[in-house]
Amino acid sequence: MDNNLDKPGKFLGKFGYDFPIVNFKNYGFLSPKEILSFRIDNTGFIPSIVLNIRTNNRRFLSSAFPKIGDKVNIFIRSRVKELKPIRNDYIITNVISSKSLDREGDYFIFT
């Protein structure tokens, strides 16, 4: 058995510094190239996020297509030792999708 699967916290502890770890159901982690932008808004009582992704991964489009009511998991780690990592689950409340405007047009953009 892979030790990384036995201790996911230790495995994830190496990541989350340069970009957020984003996990959708039935898909796994988004690659840094798929994340166009990410913003946390913590001004309200309940924090919210706005996430823009760009992918052409057929598995994501078929099994993890984001729908209202689904959850997305976020993990962020600071390089400052005194700050604790953030690990939150968010419920998707709105999804906007479109085909990319590049020449090939084979990517989808989700907000």
Cα 25 from Cα 73, distance rounded (Å): 9
The residue behind tokens 């968010």 is 90
Strands 28-29 and 35-41: unpaired
- The confidence band for 86, taking pLDDT boundaries of 50, 70 and 90, is confident
| β-strand partners of 61 | none
DSSP code per residue over 56-106? --HHHHHH----TT-EEEEEE--SSTTSPPEEEEEE-----EEE--SSS--
pLDDT in tens, 32-84: 888 889 898 989 899 999 988 888 877 777 777 788 898 989 988 888 889 88
